[in-house]
Amino acid sequence: MASPNFIDYVKLFLKSGRGGAGSAHFHRDRLTSKGGPDGGDGGRGGHIIIKGNKQLWTLLHLKYRKHIKAKSGNYGTGGGRTGADGDDEIIEVPLGTIARDAETGVQECEITEDGQEFILIPGGRGGLGNTHFKSSTRQTPEYAQPGEDHQEGWKVLELKVLADVGLVGFPNAGKSTLLSVVSAAKPEIANYPFTTLVPNLGVVPHNDGYRSFVMADIPGIIEGANEGKGLGHRFLRHIERNSILLFVISCDTNSILDEYNILVKELELYNKELLHKERLIAITKADLLDEELEQALKDELPKDMKTIFISSFTKKGIPQLKNMIWDSLN
């Protein structure tokens, strides 16, 4: 999968449709020269609607659609006929997408279900025809309402990946390798930091193959990510939608506990709500350790957390890791 194909942020200029004007028509036919008012209402202008689509996984299809405009409503006509509503513009987005006002930054909606819809910018209401303004004292009103004006504005769409398990760790900790071993995903893997620049999703089969869970390989976090270092904000927001956080730490780091504490601190500074998620720890590259060294490292780790030593190369601990994740999810 090519990295440029994963787009998780777009900024769009949206413009709804103007409402159609009401009609100031009077009834006329070959037998009636001065009939009463029969002007119809104007049609509603088209809405700009955001809609969830589970078949989509990126905002790539919106990358080059910077301006989206809905159709205006049609005018009302005589005979009490209402003008047609303007066509709505429906923007389909992957599940996990949020919409914000570009100027204020206020979140306006969150799409988490297939088929879920939200009106981002409503169309203008159609004007009332002159039939609405007749009364006992005014039987021939010669005016009707104009249609309500359109609305417009810049909106930001952000995608936050939805997954059961999010892999959290420093660059080059072995997250992508782990994902490639437990699922059919084929993330780019190399022996240098920041090989992964976009999240990768993999479906992990469990036991009989009829049960599975979704694992997300989140690009590596560095110290200061909460301040935007290393594209930190773009990476961190994908962690918000994961049910469980699996901290992936290489056994050859200087201090496993220090690295874990840095990762937790970065999550806390970005969003304290992330600390309420269940956490697991996987120590990778365990094939480099003997039993004595593994036990020494295990003694340094937090006692109140589920911890496992794994090797993506020898498959050591992989079945146990999948069982541990499954038990936590259920």
Q: Higher-confidence residue: 242 or 146?
A: 146
Residue 238 has pLDDT above 60, yes or no: yes
Comparing 113-117, 125-129, 181-185, 230-234, which segment has the lowest mean pLDDT?
230-234
Residue 69 has pLDDT above 80, yes or no: yes
Just give the CATH number of 1-159.
2.70.210.12
Which range, 30-34, 203-207, 248-252, 271-275, has the best average confidence (pLDDT)?
A: 248-252
What's the average model confidence in pLDDT over 160-183? 83
Give how far Cα 47 sits from Cα of 11, 14, 89, 112, 120, Å.
18, 10, 6, 21, 8
Q: Higher-confidence residue: 50 or 195?
A: 50
Q: Is 2 exposed, middle or buried (0-12, 13-18, 19+ CB in 10 A)?
A: exposed
pLDDT in tens, 101-149: 999 989 999 998 999 999 999 999 999 999 999 988 888 898 899 999 9
Residue 189 has pLDDT above 60, yes or no: no
Residue 197 has pLDDT above 90, yes or no: no
Name the percent of the chain lying above pLDDT 90.
36
Q: Higher-confidence residue: 195 or 316?
A: 316
- The β-bridge relationship of strands 48-52 and 89-93 is parallel
Residue 299 has pLDDT above 50, yes or no: yes
Beta-strand ranges (E) seen in the chain are 9-15, 48-52, 67-69, 89-93, 97-101, 107-111, 117-121, 152-159, 163-168, 200-206, 211-217, 242-250, 278-284, 306-309
Residue 240 has pLDDT above 70, yes or no: yes
- As a whole number of angstroms, the distance between CA 132 and CA 40 comes to 9
> Are the CB atoms for 191 and 207 separated by under 8 Å?
no
Provide φ and ψ at 256, rounded to 5°.
-60, -45
CA angle 250, 4, 58 (to 5 degrees): 90
> Are the CB atoms for 197 and 204 separated by under 8 Å?
no
How many Cβ atoms are within 10 Å of 104's Cβ, its own excluded? 8
Q: What is the reported pLDDT for 55? A: 87
What's the average model confidence in pLDDT over 293-302? 82
pTM: 0.67
The token duo for 16 is 């709804």
Fold of 163-329: Rossmann fold (3.40.50)
pLDDT band for position 194 (50/70/90)? Answer: very low
What value does the mean pLDDT of the chain take?
84
Q: What is the reported pLDDT for 106? A: 92
Q: Where are the alpha helices (DSSP H) in 164-317?
A: 175-182, 232-236, 256-270, 291-300
- As a whole number of angstroms, the distance between CA 22 and CA 69 comes to 22
Strand-pair partners of 90: 49
Query: Taking Cα atoms as reference points, which of 195, 211, 218 lies closest to residue 270?
Result: 218
Residue 41 has pLDDT above 70, yes or no: yes
> Are the CB atoms for 292 and 286 separated by under 8 Å?
no
What's the average model confidence in pLDDT over 221-237? 52
pLDDT band for position 209 (50/70/90)? Answer: low
Q: Higher-confidence residue: 135 or 162?
A: 135
What's the average model confidence in pLDDT over 199-226? 72
Q: Where do the structural domains in the chain lie, given as residue ranges?
A: 1-159, 163-329
